[in-house]
A and B are shown apart, each in its own frame.
Chain A
Amino acid sequence: MTPGPGSEAPRVVEAGLRSFTCAYERYVEQPFQLGQVVAVREGPVTILGCIADTASGPEDPGRPLQAQGGALTAAEVFAENPHIRPLLRTRLTIAACGYISGEGALALLPPSPPPLLARVEPATDAEVVHATADGAFLALLTASPLCDDAVIAAAVRAAANAHGAEARDFTVRAGKELARLLKAEPARLSSILRGVTA
């Protein structure tokens, strides 16, 4: 019953080519962040995805979480009611944004979905740089119904962090790529760019 090594990593619980869902074994207050690039390394290729949504709540929909605790903080309510945390789960929705096969990073849908129950881990800075440098990954994100303007802006910001000293150059390239992809949607482009520079 004691969590084993690495049990904190969420695992794929629903898998598709365009998106997949992963879940932590428990409720976590600090899951992967919106827009963060993550990697599933357990299949024939390393699949990269972008965090599009996070949700936490009871695992059993028949037992809704009751608001309780009076003046206590959330941490105090959890400490006073130790049964609650094991009944909660945190789930992440991830939009696929490319894959790495051998030495090459491709901004394309993966050839097959990630394996169910595969571990989902943060992509390394090197993987993020490799997969996002030319901004091509934005084509998949802008086409995904899971990715609204806030998700895409967060993804650009998160990728820029991985580029380190080259962050500004990357952001300019990403902006240009977005302008090309969204030339028919100027309002959406403006909204995303505002989010990128926020």
Chain B
Amino acid sequence: MELLAGELAALVERHRQRAAALDATLAAANNAARAWANDPAGGDARIRAAMANNPAPYATTFGEPPTATFAAPPFAPCTVVAADGSSIDPDRVAPVPCFVINTGWAVLPYRVGGEAALGSKPWVGPREAASDGGEDDGEDASPGGRGWGVSLLRDIEERETGIHLARERLVHGPVVLLFDGTFLPWDLDSRRIAARVRRQVMQRLLDALALLATGDEPLSAGAYISGSRSGDVATSLAVLAGQDPDRWLGADSLFFAPLLGEGERSALFRARSERGQTVEQQVPPESQVAFFYLRTGGDIARVELPLWAATPERIDRLHATLIDQCARCDGYPRALQEAHEQAVISGGDRQQFARLLESEAARQRVFAAANGKQTSKRRRAV
């Protein structure tokens, strides 16, 4: 520890210098943003030109000046629905390769009908015999590997669960549906996941999005990213300021932190990318993503929503509900917190599952291959 302590002073000094340099960058970013606000179409055109043959994510305006801020409307009665997931990833030293996904949910009615519900649904996979895959099955699609796409399956289960619960509750009045993380599951374009899995999940996603995006019902939807490090707006501002995006603001939150007052949201932006075969390009236009930033306490959160949900009434409901939810739960939406609590698989649960699996495998005379490193770690004898 003495060796590390000696390095801390220099580390903090470097950070301080970077922060000081940030002030000048922020001033330039503000100038670029003001110019963009004065001529949104011209700014967007310059950004689209910079996107050509560039895989980086950018942002363009979406009907609101990029420097605009909006106070939270009053919270109105609604049901807040949230879904979140947790998983046990495949253990390569387990006697039988498998995984667990547990999807938790929270349905919380605020001054509307219906009962509150908290719950979770766990399941064990794979549900079909594992395959070594074939063409285009990713670089690690072997049984027990990432080819199963556990995180992707967890994402789609969350969305299906939340969407079905949200639609059920519309009979009681307005509904706000929340997810944790991005609105679209970005692992859908990961080549480390077997193509067969990605195809199946994409079809399930399209079905779920179609179910969500129906009619004129009072349904708002948003995906909440606390402490977001995304840089779409910062990259666009760099283009407009004639700067190198790689040597510019690291994250959008640095730009919006001084701009947003407590409870305020930023303007809406469109997420843009020219990267080939992005997830967004594979979903219907109405389910592509817009986003805004939101200040709750010290947190600058990014909120993603499908384009069909970017109507003034739906955005106001989402904005007001998120501020109310965060006030109820120390700066994070209460419904997401409760869904997480339902989903979480504790360390004890993980160990118990491993023991159950070993026990069942032994009963059927299936044993794990000897693994000296694992055995040694368990003993830790001197």
Chain A residues close to B by CB (< 8 Å): 1-3, 63, 79-83, 85-87
Contact = CB atoms under 8 A, between A and B. Distances in A.
Interface string B108-145: 11110001111100000000000000000000000000
B334 A83 contact: yes
Nearest to B165: A1
Contact of B335 (A2, A63, A83, A86): A83
Contacts of A85: 116
Contacts of A86: 116-118
B328 interface: yes
B195 interface: no
Contacts of A83: 106, 108, 116, 118, 334-335, 338
A2 B106 CA distance: 14
Contacts of B107: 1
Give the bracket for the number of chain B residues in contact with chain A.
Answer: 10 to 19
Contact of B110 (A1, A3, A63, A82): A82
Contacts of A63: 341
Contact of A79 (B111, B118, B341): B111
B167 to A, nearest CB: 14
B170 to A, nearest CB: 16
A82 B115 CA distance: 8
Contacts of B117: 1, 86
Contacts of A1: 107, 117, 119
Given A79-B111, A80-B110, A82-B110, 14 more contacts: A1-B107, A1-B117, A1-B119, A2-B115, A3-B115, A81-B328, A82-B116, A83-B106, A83-B116, A83-B118, A83-B338, A85-B116, A86-B118, A87-B118
6 contacts: A2-B115, A82-B116, A83-B106, A83-B116, A83-B335, A86-B117
A3 B117 CA distance: 10
Nearest to A84: B116
A81 B338 CA distance: 12
A184 B338 CA distance: 55
Contacts of A81: 328
B331 to A, nearest CB: 16
Nearest to A85: B116
A3 B116 CA distance: 11
A168 to B, nearest CB: 44
A190 B111 CA distance: 51
Contacts of A80: 110
Interface in B65-115: 106-111, 115
The list of the 6 closest CB pairs from A to B, nearest first, reads A82-B116, A86-B118, A82-B108, A1-B117, A83-B338, A86-B116
A124 to B, nearest CB: 30
A94 B328 CA distance: 37
A27 to B, nearest CB: 11
A120 B111 CA distance: 33
B218 to A, nearest CB: 18
A80 B110 CA distance: 6
A77 to B, nearest CB: 12
Nearest to B110: A82
